[in-house]
Structure 1
Amino acid sequence: MTNNKIKTVNPATGQVIKEYGMMAEEQILTAVKKAKKAFGEWKKNEGGPNKRSDFLHGLASGLRKNKEKLASVATNEMGKTIKESLSEVEKCAVTMDYYADNGIIFSGDELVNTDARKSFITFEPLGVIGSIMPWNFPYWQALRFAAPSLMVGNTIVLKPASATIQCGIEIENTFQETGLPEGVFQTLVGDSTIANTLIDSDVSAVTFTGSVSAGAKVAQRATSQIKKCVLELGGSDPFIVCEDADIEKASSGAVKGRFINCGQSCIASKRFIVTKKVANVFIEQFIQKTEKLIVGDPLLDNTDMGPLVNESALNNIESLVQDAVNNGAKILTGGDRLAHGSDKGYFYKPTILEHISPKMRIAREEVFGPVAPITIVENETEAVRIANDSEYGLGASIWTDDLDKADKLSRTIEAGVVTVNNIVASDARIPFGGVKKSGFGRELSRYGMLEFVNIKSVRFYDQLDSNHHVE
């Protein structure tokens, strides 16, 4: 970013895609005022929920209609493979339909029996929600919040990551094509510095997905102004392989869980904890399947893994691997950059390491790239201890054929999401979020919708109750 200009760069080639002018503070405040004005009409209950449902169905259709274009924009801006980008857009469409179909039920009044003649709980939208989103899933992370929030009657001002500005613009364009009322959903253009202006504006609440350090600053700024916030932060998800696991399935899951989106996912499998009894066979299959991955041009249909998002991310992964090797780790496959037609692309070979120790950065930090560190343990008890020995608590996966054991272990893992015999993935039907430094609040399901509402209690009495002596 130079002279109030932002350049987006294709990570597969290192070439500049486009240059954007930063929005001034006045433009940001004007957008929020427009959203505030639109909120008054958008939130109305009389016929409103059905109209909002229709708009969400329309957006789902718009996403599917423009799927190829939207996918290519994401792939060019941040480097994920085209098949992953297409899948991301489709998942957004499915989620729009889900909330269009279920949102009215999720937010309907709840009748409660009390001492009053009539008591009910009603769920009212808060107002304008400021949304500060990352680059790694530029459509999904913006729209998985937007779908329930719009359905319940809020309006949204989105600040996309500076690496994926066009993705954010395309979301607004798709909304406009469906006839969404002006001001209900708007996208800002700017780098991280405009986030403070958005938080300080007349928004009612803030949702943020990103790093722990940035999330702490967002939370501090928002809560100091008594504004609700939801944070989805980093993860260092454990992948536990029990001694009775199906190794064929577990090793395939390990490849998918670690190298999806070039390892740049909050809920990617990041720490592989394998019981000693099955370690050799698991590692052998993990290596074999990893080495079959096709790394290269992300626009090609047969490519399995593209580049990292930028040079800084590439340098960080290289530094993490070197630190691990310097402290005794062994590289089983990969371990260096990968030239692909040009030395300007940010490619790194899918990498597996063993002999991991707690003193290594790779054992403590969130590894946002295609590197899989393996720790061998004696038993499941030790596996859970190591899994929980982290400042993160977003997701975890457990691989075992003993479902009673799976039930017991899943309840001892300190995480917001636990998956048995599959990789961790978000799903509109279940709540998503973490504990510890992985954030607070929930997205998706009915619980995600209720994060940004006023839960109002209403009671009708016939006469004053003189027995009330405390508040």
Structure 2
Amino acid sequence: MAIATVNPATGQTLRTFEPYSPAAVEQRLARAVQTFEQYRLTDFGRRTQLMHRAAELLDADQETIAKLMTTEMGKPITAARAEAAKCAKAMRWYADRAPALLADEHPSPEDVTDAGAARALVRYRPMGPVLAVMPWNFPLWQVVRFAAPALMAGNVGLLKHASNVPQTALYLEDLFRGAGFPDGCFQTLLIDSRAVADVLRDPRVVAATLTGSEGAGRSVAAVAGDEVKKTVLELGGSDPFVVLPSADVAAAARTAVTARVQNNGQSCIAAKRFIVHGAVYEEFRAAFVAGMRALRVGDPMREDTQVGPLATAQGREELGELVADALALGAAVECEVEVPQSAGEGWYYPPTVLSGITDRMRIHHEEAFGPVATLYRAEDLDHAVELANDTPFGLSSNVWTTDDAEQERFVRDIQAGGVFFNGMTASHPALPFGGVRRSGYGRELSGHGIREFCNITTVWIA
């Protein structure tokens, strides 16, 4: 895939980039190691100052970077501004809390005496250069939620971003350098995906984090495993959105629309499978379909647009294949929102609701990465839990119920990294984020995320 900015609203190639040569990559790897040896010795006071400055610069650049993200991957401009603001908030969160999150831990004196020590402690130390392989769907947020904790922990970062968001990738390097981080603390590698393995195998790279497809995760994990290097993987998701009789059905339906089409439906944690108890199924279906039909589809630069184009032509083609397969096997179309003629030649896909889904259909097992929702009728609570878990993924989940016992049932039995009651899944710096099963392993954000790329060191003093 070419490294290029191609406007998904028009299909027009705006700018192309030559991949870095092996010599250029080598220069950046050498710089990363050299910088790490000095940067790891900085104290939290200095790192906090630098991260706050980066947040200030990002706030000042909000409109510029929002327009760039919309141009490169098609998210509505209002969502792009919100993404930039969220990134600045996360930077400040880690800037202020990293010293406490990574403070030395002291076991009780009684315990260490039993271990034969006068005293003992646990210290979190930085590991070194970490490779981040990141996707295009949240081109700023996905990177910042790695970079902010990694840099605050004393690591340095190497970013291999998706090939269709090269200008956003370069902006991130400029942002951290402009904030005063040492040259080499955070560098972008404009390389083809086929070059990732060589970078990861380089002994100077100590670990990797990847957000992306299951296939990309398998590739990176295989190389890292062969090299015995730490990885964190956040892969796909086909999150359930369960509605039970005690729910506020109208509120659930309104939230369901947003949960399905956020980021034009291209989000791993977007709700995709809507599992509704038979007692409220018709009420929910009517309200949900009406909400989907009312969506405003069009130019993502318009302030009133709710759904823009898909990011790539390939993505639209793959989504269409999933829908076609479902229809051929008997699925019914509850609604299909017409894309306005004024939308032009972009990679738009009509927001769609399908019902009558069976396990013979690909869409039942695969992630629909776009504004297509699948509706299921659950016979009872047990059936709802069964349907929610009937997926190879396990990223997050949404459950609408005010019944305490039902909430406890889902917390106990749902196979996912998170369960959100009476609301939609969201990521926040204070909460760990990640999945199980084929949605990956490890955690980002919170204290769990900042410690993923630390050397957890036991200090024992006789």
Residue matched to 2:77: 82
- Corresponding position: 1:460 with 2:461: yes
- Which digits, 9 at most, give the CA deviation of each residue in 1:193-235, with x for residues without a partner? 2212221222110001111111011001012111111100010
| 1:43 CA displacement | 0.8
CA–CA distance in 1 between the matches of 2:205 and 2:254?
44
CA–CA distance in 2 between the matches of 1:316 and 1:285?
28
C-alpha contact 2:298 2:343 (8 A) present in aligned 1 = no
For the residue of structure 2 that corresponds to 1:173, the secondary structure is: helix
| 1:341 CA displacement | 2.9
Residue matched to 2:255: 253
Residue matched to 1:467: none
- Which digits, 9 at most, give the CA deviation of each residue in 1:335-358, with x for residues without a partner? 7x7354365211111110111101
Identity %: 40
Residue matched to 1:466: none
Residue matched to 1:71: 66
C-alpha contact 1:29 1:198 (8 A) present in aligned 2 = no
| 1:6 CA displacement | 2.7
> Cα RMSD over matched residues?
1.2
For the residue of structure 2 that corresponds to 1:141, the secondary structure is: helix
Q: Give the TM-score normalised by the residue count of structure 2.
A: 0.97
Q: What is the identity, as a one-letter code, of the residue corresponding to 1:12?
A: A
Q: What is the identity, as a one-letter code, of the residue corresponding to 2:48?
A: S
CA–CA distance in 1 between the matches of 2:352 and 2:386?
25
CA–CA distance in 2 between the matches of 1:67 and 1:295?
24
Residue matched to 2:28: 31
CA–CA distance in 2 between the matches of 1:212 and 1:191?
18
C-alpha contact 2:4 2:166 (8 A) present in aligned 1 = no
CA–CA distance in 2 between the matches of 1:249 and 1:279?
14
- Corresponding position: 1:17 with 2:14: yes
Unaligned residue ranges in structure 1 (runs of 5+): 462-471
For the residue of structure 2 that corresponds to 1:119, the secondary structure is: strand
Matches within 5 A, 1:134-145: 134-145=135-146
Moved more, 79-88 or 400-409: 400-409
For the residue of structure 1 that corresponds to 2:419, the secondary structure is: strand
| 1:407 CA displacement | 2.4
Matches within 5 A, 1:193-204: 193-201=194-202, 202-204=204-206
C-alpha contact 1:144 1:443 (8 A) present in aligned 2 = yes
Q: What is the identity, as a one-letter code, of the residue corresponding to 2:29?
A: V
CA–CA distance in 2 between the matches of 1:233 and 1:138?
15
Q: Please, which of 81, 105, 130 is the counterpart of residue 110 of structure 1? A: 105
Residue matched to 1:52: 47
Q: What is the identity, as a one-letter code, of the residue corresponding to 2:169?
A: G
Unaligned residue ranges in structure 2 (runs of 5+): none
- Corresponding position: 1:308 with 2:314: no
C-alpha contact 1:25 1:194 (8 A) present in aligned 2 = no
| 1:269 CA displacement | 0.2
For the residue of structure 1 that corresponds to 2:232, the secondary structure is: strand
Residue matched to 2:87: 92
For the residue of structure 2 that corresponds to 1:94, the secondary structure is: helix
For the residue of structure 1 that corresponds to 2:217, the secondary structure is: helix
CA–CA distance in 1 between the matches of 2:24 and 2:144?
23
Task: Give the 4+ runs in structure 1 shifted more than 6 A.
Answer: none
CA–CA distance in 2 between the matches of 1:52 and 1:141?
21
| 1:36 CA displacement | 0.8
Q: Please, which of 273, 284, 288 is the counterpart of residue 286 of structure 1? A: 288
Q: What is the identity, as a one-letter code, of the residue corresponding to 2:248?
A: D
| 1:386 CA displacement | 1.2
- Which digits, 9 at most, give the CA deviation of each residue in 1:374-406, with x for residues without a partner? 010111110111111211000000001223321
Aligned residues: 455
- Corresponding position: 1:42 with 2:43: no
Q: What is the identity, as a one-letter code, of the residue corresponding to 1:230?
A: V
CA–CA distance in 2 between the matches of 1:442 and 1:43?
22
Residue matched to 1:228: 230
| 1:367 CA displacement | 0.7
- Corresponding position: 1:271 with 2:273: yes
Q: What is the identity, as a one-letter code, of the residue corresponding to 2:229?
A: K
CA–CA distance in 2 between the matches of 1:405 and 1:453?
38
Matches within 5 A, 1:362-441: 362-441=363-442
Closer/same/farther in 2, CA of residues 187 and 353 from structure 1, 3 Å limit: same
CA–CA distance in 2 between the matches of 1:241 and 1:380?
10
Q: Please, which of 238, 244, 250 is the counterpart of residue 246 of structure 2? A: 244
Q: What is the identity, as a one-letter code, of the residue corresponding to 1:78?
A: M
